[in-house]
Amino acid sequence: MHALIITPHLLNATVLATALRNFNVQSSVATPQTLSRQWTPATDAILLPHPLTAREVPFLIDFLSNISLKIPLIFFSNRQKTLFNKEKMKPYLIQSIFLEDDLPLAQIPLLIKDILQKNHVKEPEIKIGEIIMDRINRTLTVSNQSMVLSKKEFFLLELLILNSGRVTTRENIIDYVWDKRDYVAQNTIDVYMSRLRKKLSPSSITTFPCLGYQLNL
């Protein structure tokens, strides 16, 4: 499970990330201005532990309008309702959760884990172009032909499909495909991309130097 922590207070966010890790919840941290670089389709919830200012809210609205939001926004205070209960934010507040202000801090990581577990349900099948990906049985069909992928190849292609239309960064790939404890060499991702291109088509994946990769299907 993965949570994206959005806050201008990075030091406090690091403490929260450590507490979440103790409950097997991985997380990444972003300021309102750096959201797009930290976002990954593997994210199960967006956490807002600190109130955002009126200047920071537009960054969040712009970010939410550019992703397919099917995950909850978890606000750590009911007091944030006033700032976010605006016309532009209402479409995104449907799946929002506002924690009680007097909730003991020690209970928050466990509560977040419980929320994430309830929302951590994958769509069983993904279709894009001629590709059908069965995420339960980890099988892939391309143009009605079954294709064999290794575990990491499957997760890598899954991430590219989920992030279709956007550049997927190397950092996102490492977080999604590899264990946090693994060392991933500089050319490892390139090797796996090459394998996927051979199985799909040479032009199926575009490399953007210093940025990442994008699926072209």
Q: Where are the domains of the chain?
A: 2-119, 125-215
Residue 33: the pLDDT is 81
DSSP string, 45-70: EEEE-SPPPTTTHHHHHHHHHTS---
- Give the Cα separation of 80 and 25 in Å (integer): 24
Residue 51: the pLDDT is 78
Residue 9: the pLDDT is 80
CATH class of domain segment(s) 2-119: alpha beta
Whose CA is closest to 161, among 150, 173, 171, 151?
173
- Contacts of the segment 33-39: beta carbons below 8 A, 24+ positions apart: 33/59, 35/4, 35/6, 35/59, 35/60, 35/63, 36/63, 36/66, 37/169, 38/4, 39/4, 39/63, 39/67, 39/172
Residue 196: the pLDDT is 93
pLDDT in tens, the chain (217 residues): 778 888 888 777 888 888 878 777 778 888 888 877 766 666 778 888 887 777 887 887 777 776 655 677 788 876 666 666 555 666 665 567 777 766 677 777 777 777 777 665 556 778 888 888 887 677 889 888 888 888 889 889 988 887 877 888 888 888 778 866 678 887 899 999 999 999 888 888 999 998 899 998 7
Q: Candidates 3.40.50.720, 3.40.30.10, 1.10.10.10, 2.70.70.10; correct CATH number of 125-215?
A: 1.10.10.10
